[in-house]
Structure 1
Amino acid sequence: MTDQKKLVVHEDWAVVILGGLIILLALAGISLTVPAFSWGTTAELTRKVLSSANLQLIGIQFLFVLVIAALGALITGKSVAASLKTFPIVYILTVIALVLAGNAQVKALNLEAVIFSLGIGLLIGNFLKLPEWLKSSLSTELFVKIGLVLLGTSVIFSDILKAGSLGLIQALVVVLSVWYFAFWLCKKLKVDDELTMMISSAVSICGVSAAIATSGAIKGDSKKLSYVISMVLITAIPMMIFMPYIAAYFNFPQAVTGAWLGGSIDTTGAVVASGTLVGEEALKISTIVKFSQNVLLGIAAFAISVYWTYTNHPAGKDKAEKPTLGVIWERFPKFVIGFVAASVLFSFFISPESNTAVKGSLKNLQGLWFALAFTSIGLETNFKDLFSRNSKTPFYAFIIAQGFNILVTLVIAFFLFA
């Protein structure tokens, strides 16, 4: 039994291994063809998405991620049998979400697949009585952290630097000012410490990814993380729809509008969608600014883990006692190493040709792991926990902080890009 315990790998290291394995397989030529989920009419749905050839691609993708999920259960010491029972259910629900999100009318509304994943999970989890073995074997954290490691492959430093230093300067100023304001506001409203850290990071850095990274850094409660993610997704929809029209009404320059969108809207997909509504220059600048904020994700997670260790609860130690470097390292979210390593690898060591060959498959898998995670979050989350009376104050804090984010980012965008 003792020898078996030695084989167990911490989940954060496990996702570094699994994410690295996916990347290495792709670079070795073992990359998956991306299934089609886009459709406009029922006939097109049948002909493209539900065709035997496309269903075969979906099946191959299922087998690939099933093996990765089972391997994750094995090396983290969880039940492989339970994972093999639960994963197909989560995958099928996620595919349904991807099909719904692939509809042309839904795409016109800029609704992302993760919104449907979360919604389907919440509906099933709250209106059906799920067996305990299903809930207990969900691997939400594993899925979302694998997605974060793969996200690093799309954070290319050369792309960011091509737009000059302005995007990086804006990202740094916005992140620091908005994070501190959100933190101060949450403290004033007496929001609990875990939610304060997650809300501050989600509003200021890059939404869902930042909330997840912060939760990992502070070992946060999954229900609180689900609540913050729900707020991010709910507010991202009206922002990405109305902000481009506000910019058009006041005749903002495209560069300013792009910087405003990239710095304000919390999800990368929503940034791209809103930038597209404005124009090519706005799309380019908004994407660069958002990627610049994504670059700060690893640094922010490290800083937050150190701050949390020193000021809150160095586990098992007196609060007044300063933790050692060993304690800081123990609490540091190791999956951030995978994110940074993937970004460095694709920024400096992978040729543009190789990057082009694998980026479609890796981007698809990144989105799939996130969608699987959101389905799992929905299945394990209860509406009563999300929308209880105690949830109102954090929601008000999030909305006010988001309003501050919109205003301060617009001012900085005009100062740097006008």
Structure 2
Amino acid sequence: MIKNNQLLSEDWTVVFLGFFLIIIALLGILVPTPSFGWETTSELTEKVLSGKNLIKLVQVFGITYVIALLSARLLGKSIKGTAKGFPIVFGLTSLALILAGNAFLKNWNLEAVIFSLAIGLLLSNFFTLPGWLTETLSTELFVKIGLILLGTSVIFGDILKAGSLGLIQALVVVISVWYFAFWVSKKMGIDEEFAIMISSAVSICGVSAAIATSGAIKGDSKKLSYVISIVLITAIPMIIFLPFIAQALGLSQAVTGAWLGGTIDTTGAVIASGTMVGEEALKISTIVKFSQNVLLGFAAFAISIYWTMTNNQSDTVKESKPTLGIIWERFPKFVLGFIAASLLFSFVISSETIDSVKGGFKALQGLWFALAFTSIGLETKFSDLFSKEGKKPLYAFLIAQLFNVFVTLAVAYLLFN
């Protein structure tokens, strides 16, 4: 529903702004990609904090600042408040990106979003934040813009190259693990919104799946941050121990790679773990994980339809079957933007153009996600994340992940042995 002072709904605003970024990049206005990787203090000073790199960071800030101000205008929010608040969020997010760029922390797969969330949580829980700052936070907007840009990396040609075995495993694992996780969550009394986020995160591709699902069902940002935290924390021991377990079981590199790719929830963690095993394991694990990532758009679309028809109806139509008009009104349009971006880059844009812009899109996509999690942290209290009610989702996730480990091992052995 569009309010009087809004020009567009939030979802259409996201689609407009996401494709605005895509179009300017395709026109040759490439997004700068600042470097955040460093190992020593001198490398931090000479590389990350160098004048040349800081200029790139300022340029990225300028682009995102314009987008933030434009979104405030389209959504009828305070432009003055956004003008003051966004630079603070961007500064905190830049700090998170620098921390995440440390080589030691990268080896542990501690991604930028966890630092963004942690910085926001520390500030919101130990300091009193001004009202004008918290009122201008745009968590959902940032997440959905990131997802539109994520669509540019889901190339259908690569899906075919990924191989039939990878796709078969991805389908079997995603469907079986998703329904098991959802069933366990409901049995433990977890609400449906939380259950869907947990199920998507554990079965598809971790962080990205949780974010996409939350956007599709207009989920609670506090629940989303909780699921993301579980995903990232759980990935660390899995990176370390699964390769050793595979070796103890005498599994081949192909089976091990398929097992890692289908079990570990984040792409970065899969690559890190596959590298520990060997070249073939790394290749197979990447193919399987990519196959699961490809299913994200289809899953988000299906979840959107399901949620619209069962849980997202107004009181006046709750008792009757929703019409196509109601489904369209309630359907999250950003999902269409994600699919449109994927189709555009799969069948219209040349591979040479894609190669020239994909680095900038990947960096910008990661930045929007990090901005979103800084915002989530700034509006969340520890008491909300670690309440007694928070134990059930954790147990449900761990049980589903254990099921995922055994099912994926069985499927990987059957297909790749």
Q: Distance in 2 between matches of 1:392 and 1:276?
A: 33
Residue pair 2:162, 2:288 contacting (<8 A) in 1 also? no
Runs of 4+ deviating beyond 6 Å: none
- Give percent identity, aligned residues only: 69
Deviations 1:240-268 (A, max 9, x none): 23223322333422222222222222222
Residues 90-99 or 214-223, more deviating: 214-223
Q: Distance in 1 between matches of 2:363 and 2:312?
A: 38
Q: Which amino acid aligns with 2:38?
A: W
Q: Distance in 1 between matches of 2:46 and 2:186?
A: 54
Q: Which amino acid aligns with 1:326?
A: G
Question: Cα distance, 1:274 vs. partner?
Answer: 2.2
Change (3 A) 1:241 1:73: farther
Question: Cα distance, 1:318 vs. partner?
Answer: 4.9
TM-score, normalised to structure 2, is 0.95
Question: Cα distance, 1:149 vs. partner?
Answer: 1.0
Matched residue, 1:166: 165
Specify every segment of 5 or more residues in structure 1 that has no aligned partner in the other structure, as ranges: none
Q: Which amino acid aligns with 1:110?
A: N
Residues 161-170 or 57-66, more deviating: 161-170
Change (3 A) 1:113 1:343: same
Question: Cα distance, 1:4 vs. partner?
Answer: 8.5
Question: Cα distance, 1:270 vs. partner?
Answer: 2.0
Change (3 A) 1:330 1:291: farther
Change (3 A) 1:119 1:241: farther
Matched residue, 2:182: 183
Q: Distance in 1 between matches of 2:3 and 2:126?
A: 39
Deviations 1:20-72 (A, max 9, x none): 11111111111123111111211111111111111111111111111111112
Change (3 A) 1:20 1:167: same
Q: How does 1:353-392 map to 2 (within 5 A)?
A: 353-392=352-391
Residue pair 1:212, 1:225 contacting (<8 A) in 2 also? yes
Specify every segment of 5 or more residues in structure 2 that has no aligned partner in the other structure, as ranges: none
Matched residue, 1:249: 248
1:323 aligns to what SS in structure 2?
Answer: coil
Number of aligned positions between the proteins: 416
1:350 aligns to what SS in structure 2?
Answer: coil
Residue pair 1:271, 1:290 contacting (<8 A) in 2 also? yes
Residue pair 2:152, 2:341 contacting (<8 A) in 1 also? yes
1:5 aligns to what SS in structure 2?
Answer: coil
Give the alignment's Cα RMSD to 1 decimal: 1.8
Matched residue, 1:350: 349
Q: How does 1:244-393 map to 2 (within 5 A)?
A: 244-393=243-392
Question: Cα distance, 1:386 vs. partner?
Answer: 0.4
Residue pair 1:302, 1:332 contacting (<8 A) in 2 also? no
Matched residue, 2:220: 221
Q: Which amino acid aligns with 1:259?
A: A
Q: Which amino acid aligns with 2:154?
A: V
Deviations 1:182-219 (A, max 9, x none): 11111111111211111111111122222222222222
Q: Which amino acid aligns with 2:242?
A: M
Q: Distance in 2 between matches of 1:230 and 1:157?
A: 30
Q: Which amino acid aligns with 2:258?
A: A
Q: Which amino acid aligns with 1:333?
A: P
Matched residue, 2:48: 49
Q: Distance in 2 between matches of 1:231 and 1:185?
A: 16
Matched residue, 1:38: 37
Question: Cα distance, 1:239 vs. partner?
Answer: 1.9
Q: Distance in 1 between matches of 2:400 and 2:175?
A: 13
Matched residue, 1:155: 154
Deviations 1:122-173 (A, max 9, x none): 1111111111211121111111111111111111122221132111111111
Change (3 A) 1:61 1:318: closer
Q: Which amino acid aligns with 2:205?
A: C
TM-score, normalised to structure 1, is 0.95
Change (3 A) 1:331 1:213: farther
